[in-house]
């Protein structure tokens, strides 16, 4: 009996030792093996700002990892369509993706808060909410069932309302207007009487020029100039009430993420954070010069939406956000976090950023 027990004890020791050894060896192999990953995007290849953000992440990761990790970036349509990015990363056919979370409202309605919602956060505020206000934890919870680990990876700053061939003097002028406008902004546009459509970036110019759509929003002067919207529409409207500081996302397949050694995870997170900031700086630096060119060289007519139209959009936006939250507990969870943070940050920004900008401009 005694001998038998000793024998079993011995077996247990041998088995647990060999497990430890195997685990240690696999950790060592993970730490030194090379990784070749594929990243699909919702943007045209090498597109300024949006498309260059994942290219910069790939470059930083390769350099910081001393070549241990190489990420190949594909433009929209090269491997999967622009709106197939989420599914590609979720299924694991591609380890990484770069996009905007409001494209996935059909799959996860709560996702939209992490690119931006009408009258929501500016770029600075959404960074504060996501990094320091609990936003990132909720975002990861929402993407978990889809097998995706998300993180911020770029920001466009405040966008423009967009391109029109007729003037908008009242909500009447919105009625029946077919406009490319994604996310909650599109829902607001619909309730105001318009017809929102979602089209990928690469199809926008032709759709506007051929009259498939009457109007489009895209990003801001820096990006809009490169697409040549000035050749297809006369009026350029502001402010971008629908996208006050849109965040871009880096999507990582969860198993792929968990297969990485810790140091490569830290490198990816650091690269994404650096590019989140760098992209915003690029937009801030380039937008005004591009706007001057649109007006001075191309004769674009800049227009501000009438205040009462903006006020009506705001009423509708709040109604829709409340309704969406009441319908879906996940949306409600994000909405409550968003709303509390929005109230706090707006109160302080009223007497800091906003008061200062007003003082500077007057």
CB of 217 or CB of 282, closer to Ca ion: 217
Give the x/- contact pattern for Ca ion in 169-208, rule: CB under 5 A: ----------------------------------------
Count residues near Ca ion (CB under 5 A): 3
Q: How much is the CA Rg of the chain, to the nearest whole Å?
A: 24
Q: Which of residues 138-167 bind Ca ion (CB under 5 A)?
A: 159
Degrees to nearest 5, angle at CA 204 with 203 and 210: 95
Rounded Cα gap, residues 130 and 247, in angstroms: 10
| Residue whose CB is less far from Ca ion, 22 or 302 | 302
Instruction: Give the nearer residue to Ca ion in terms of CB position, either 61 or 317.
Output: 317
Q: Looking at beta carbons only, is 160 or 260 nearer to Ca ion?
A: 160
Q: What are phi and psi of 33, to 5 degrees?
A: -70, 160
Q: State which residue, 159 or 230, has the beta carbon closest to Ca ion.
A: 159
* Alpha carbon separation from 332 to 125, 137, 336 (Å, rounded): 20, 15, 6
The stretch near Ca ion (CB under 5 A) out of 88-96, 238-246, 323-331, 351-359 is 238-246
Residue number, 50 or 272, with CB nearest to Ca ion? 50
Q: How far is the CB of 50 from Ca ion (least distance, A)?
A: 10
Q: How far is the CB of 27 from Ca ion (least distance, A)?
A: 43
CB of 247 to Ca ion, least distance (A): 12
Task: Give the Cβ contact number of residue 59 at 10 Å.
Answer: 15
Instruction: Give me the 29-68 binding string for Ca ion, x by CB under 5 A, dash otherwise.
Output: ----------------------------------------
Q: Smallest distance, Å, CB 220 to Ca ion?
A: 8
| C-alpha distance from residue 139 to each of 90, 146, 169, 189 (Å) | 15, 12, 38, 26
- Closest distance to Ca ion from the beta carbon of 262 (Å): 36
Q: Which stretch binds Ca ion (CB under 5 A): 24-32, 139-147, 197-205, 216-224?
A: 216-224
Q: Candidates 85-93, 206-214, 241-249, 350-358: pick the segment binding Ca ion (CB under 5 A).
A: 241-249
| Pair type for strands 178-180 and 195-197 | parallel
Helix (H, G, I), strand (E, B) or coil at 252: strand
Closest CA to 200 of 224, 180, 179, 223: 180
Cβ 183 to Ca ion shortest distance, Å: 8
Q: How far apart are the C-alpha atoms of 200 and 167, rounded to whole Å?
A: 25
| DSSP for 76-135, written as a single string | TTTSS-GGGHHHHHHHTSSSEEEE-GGGGTTT-GGGGGGT--TT---HHHHHIIIIISSH
Q: How far is the CB of 308 from Ca ion (least distance, A)?
A: 23
Nearer to Ca ion, 103 or 146 (CB): 103
CA distances from 307 to 56, 224, 280 (A): 39, 24, 27
Binding residues for Ca ion (CB under 5 A) = 159, 217, 243
């Amino acid at each position: 009996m005694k001998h038998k027990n000793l024998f079993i004890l011995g077996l247990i020791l041998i088995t647990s030792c060999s497990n430890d050894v195997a685990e240690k060896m696999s950790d060592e192999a993970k730490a030194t093996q090379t990784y070749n990953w594929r990243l699909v995007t919702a943007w045209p290849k090498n597109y300024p700002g949006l498309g260059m953000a994942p290219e910069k992440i790939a470059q930083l990761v390769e350099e910081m990892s001393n070549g241990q990790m190489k990420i190949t970036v594909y433009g929209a349509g090269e491997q999967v369509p622009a709106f197939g990015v989420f599914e590609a990363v979720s299924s694991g056919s591609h380890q990484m993706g770069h996009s905007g979370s409001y494209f996935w409202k059909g799959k996860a309605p709560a996702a939209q808060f992490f690119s931006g919602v009408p009258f929501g956060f500016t770029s600075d505020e959404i960074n504060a909410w996501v990094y320091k206000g609990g936003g990132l934890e909720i975002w990861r919870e929402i993407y978990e069932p889809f097998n995706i680990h998300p993180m911020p990876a770029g920001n466009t700053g405040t966008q423009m309302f967009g391109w029109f061939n007729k003037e908008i003097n009242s909500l009447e002028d919105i009625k029946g207007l077919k406009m490319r406008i994604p996310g909650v902004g599109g829902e607001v546009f619909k309730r105001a009487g318009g017809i929102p459509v979602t089209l990928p970036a690469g199809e926008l110019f032709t759709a506007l020029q051929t009259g498939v759509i009457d109007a489009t929003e895209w990003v801001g002067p820096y990006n809009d100039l490169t697409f040549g919207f000035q050749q297809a529409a006369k009026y350029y409207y502001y402010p971008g009430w629908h996208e006050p500081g849109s965040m871009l996302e880096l999507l990582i397949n969860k198993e792929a993420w968990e297969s990485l050694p810790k140091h490569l995870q830290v490198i990816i997170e650091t690269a994404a954070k650096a590019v989140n900031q760098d992209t915003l700086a690029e937009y801030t630096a380039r937008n005004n010069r591009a706007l001057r060119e649109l007006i001075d060289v191309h004769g674009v007519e800049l227009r501000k939406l009438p205040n009462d139209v903006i006020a009506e959009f705001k009423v509708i936006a709040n109604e829709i956000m409340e309704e969406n939250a009441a319908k879906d507990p996940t949306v409600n969870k994000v909405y409550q976090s968003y709303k509390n943070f929005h109230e706090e940050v707006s109160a302080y920004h009223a007497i800091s950023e906003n008061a200062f900008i007003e003082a500077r401009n007057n």
